[in-house]
Amino acid sequence: MATLVIAEHNNAALGAATLNTVAAAQAIGGDIHLLVAGSNCAAVAEAAARVAGVSKVLVADQAAYAHQLTENLAPLVAALGRDYSHLLAAATTNSKNLLPRVAALLDVEQISEIVKVLAPDTFQRPIYAGNALATVQSLAAIKVITVRGTGFDAVAAEGGTASIETVATVSDAGISRFVGEEIARSERPELTGAKIVVSGGRGMQSGDNFQLLYRVADKLGAAVGASRAAVDAGFVPNDMQVGQTGKIVAPQLYIAVGISGAIQHLAGMKDSRVIVAINKDEEAPIFQVADYGLVGDLFEIVPELERQL
Amino acid sequence: MKILVAVKRVVDYNVKVRVKADHSGVDLANVKMAMNPFCEIAVEEAVRLKEKGIASEIVAVSVGPVAAQEQLRTALALGADRAILVETDEELGSLAVAKLLKAVVDKEQPQLVILGKQAIDSDNNQTGQMLGALTGYAQGTFASKVEIAGDQINVTREIDGGLQTVTLKLPAIVTTDLRLNEPRYASLPNIMKAKKKPLETLTPDALGVSTASTVKTLKVEAPATRSAGIIVKSVAELVEKLKNEAKVI
């Protein structure tokens, strides 16, 4: 039994979500290998070799893999995956795009977003926006799985001494081309890995008003998120959305400001350790999951909070 | 250009589902059903492409029970020209659905297939990508903008860090994200007209597709519930609680 974990990276650095995925692989048991497929990604391969618990790193360094185009990567991962009992990747947009294509090439079913490993073939995963938890058993020859990071504590990024092996296979399907990307640059921590998250909803009324949240976040060293309503209204970009179909977070502290608490938003944050809700409507569903609620005008409360921190 | 758009019948997004007492699944008896919200966005995008004169025909397809005809009629009322139901009473996994859709693609030869990125019941987010593998077509998943340019399609995708744009060769697969468009409501005259549009029924057997599954659901349970905490009176009290009681700041 051996697991191949697909590393999440941007050709320069190893993504933190990879460490949670390796933790899931450890819970399954057996040898753990990491695949780094990219272009000019030697630094990532070296970082991958230092991850605790990994015995081998496979590096496929080719121009065709530079932008993680699935049409090119999926045949490579499927070919390598045949030698493994398990194929794992973090439930990031990148792997959600890639892994089902790999599974179908291997003619096996995929299990999405597991939060617990009960046995090497049995896993727990949320369904219906987290309103139910399913225990599923896979009898597939190769178990293809995406891993929700909040379900597994990250392994140490240092301490491992894996060997590095080069994979020479090039697959370039020639049917897709990378044009460009707009990546939000922020000095604040990444949403999915932050210890504290401050999120704003429709109640913020405008994108400019999010400045109030940024100031609180900076005092706390927190990341800033948003509800779907705030993103749909154009207050903030999509990469800030927390919820069923956005980012799933489980920080130590989640502060929901002007968020009513729709089911799909709760699905993205209800595993947070401590939840604070600030809302003027005392009937808002968010108060039913909040440890501490404060009813009132956020435009008075948030600046006051900033002063008192 | 012909567009195939896939729709799924799911529990209405406003319904809070309950787990069955015997833990065999969620209780779907007498629960309001609807078209999966991401599929509504898929239908809307196809209709907009037809209104722009880019699409010539829209074929809506669903894999599901007889009752999924309702969702296909909705798609027809929104602007699809005809519909195909691949009828099955089994609850199929994404791979089986993708194989059935592949058989329909072979039959219909669309230039573009639009699907929702995920269904709000199983939350799998797999079918479009699997269809990509089975057809060999390129895939533009989690789309927030699509633009046809000759024999290519430019797709702007919602990714973790922001937005990414790719150019794909047609035929291609697109899966929709929330910001692609805002779906319209069907008008009464269009709902009446939709009743007369053609709806063909096929079966997995007739399409020659095996829908056997290797995944067994052993148990479905309710997640641990959070109980409501306390209402604090002031910011000062909140800060004090976070520092001394919860010890998180």
Whether the per-residue pLDDT at B221 is higher than 90: the answer is yes
Chain B 53-72, residues with CB within 8 Å of chain A CB atoms? none
* B212–A contact, CB cutoff 8 A: no
Which residue from A107, A127, A183 is facing B121, i.e. has the nearest CB?
A: A127
Which residue from A128, A220, A276 is facing B121, i.e. has the nearest CB?
A: A128
Q: How far off is chain A from B195, nearest CA to CA, in Å? A: 31
Whether the per-residue pLDDT at B224 is higher than 90: the answer is no
Retrieve residue A45's tokens.
């391969």
Segment B134-180, tens digit of pLDDT: 999 999 999 999 999 999 999 999 999 899 999 999 999 999 999 99
Segment B166-216, tens digit of pLDDT: 999 999 999 999 999 999 999 999 999 999 999 999 999 999 999 999 999
Q: Could you tell me how many CB contacts below 8 A there are between chain A and chain B?
A: 260
Whether the per-residue pLDDT at B14 is higher than 90: the answer is no
pTM: 0.95
Query: Does A292 contact B144 at a Cβ distance shorter than 8 Å?
Result: no
Cβ-based contacts of B117 with chain A (< 8 Å)? 245
pLDDT at A197: 98
pLDDT at B161: 86
Q: What helix, strand, coil percent values describe chain B, rounded to 5?
A: 30, 30, 40
Chain B 11-30, residues with CB within 8 Å of chain A CB atoms? 11, 13, 16-17, 19, 26
| 3-class state of residue A292 by DSSP | strand
Residue B16: band (very low, low, confident or very high) from pLDDT cuts 50, 70, 90 = confident
pLDDT at B226: 86
- Tell me the pLDDT of chain B averaged across its residues: 97
User: Which element (helix H / strand E) includes A48?
Assistant: helix A42-49
Q: Are B123 and A244 in contact (CB under 8 A)?
A: yes
pLDDT at A185: 82
Query: Does B26 contact A133 at a Cβ distance shorter than 8 Å?
Result: no
Whether the per-residue pLDDT at B81 is higher than 90: the answer is yes
Closest residue in B to A181 (Cα) is B164
Query: Does A238 contact B163 at a Cβ distance shorter than 8 Å?
Result: yes
Residue B128: band (very low, low, confident or very high) from pLDDT cuts 50, 70, 90 = very high
Which residue from B142, B218, B235 is facing A301, i.e. has the nearest CB?
A: B235
Which residue from B118, B162, B220 is facing A134, i.e. has the nearest CB?
A: B220
| 3-class state of residue B157 by DSSP | strand
Residue B36: band (very low, low, confident or very high) from pLDDT cuts 50, 70, 90 = very high
Q: How far off is chain B from A31, nearest CA to CA, in Å? A: 24
Cβ-based contacts of B118 with chain A (< 8 Å)? 245
Task: Determine which of A8, A95, A101 to mutate to test the interface with B (most B C-beta atoms within 10 Å).
Answer: A101
Q: Which residues of chain A have pLDDT under 70?
A: none
Q: How far off is chain B from A42, nearest CA to CA, in Å? A: 22
DSSP characters over B169-226: ESSEEEEE-GGG--PPPPPHHHHHHHTTS-EEEE-HHHHT-----SEEEEEEEPPPPP
pLDDT at B193: 97
Whether the per-residue pLDDT at B227 is higher than 90: the answer is no
DSSP-derived letter for residue B61 is: E
Segment A129-184, tens digit of pLDDT: 999 999 999 999 999 999 999 999 999 999 999 999 999 989 999 999 999 999 88
pLDDT at B110: 98
Whether the per-residue pLDDT at B225 is higher than 90: the answer is no
Report which of residues B13 and B84 the model is more confident about.
B84
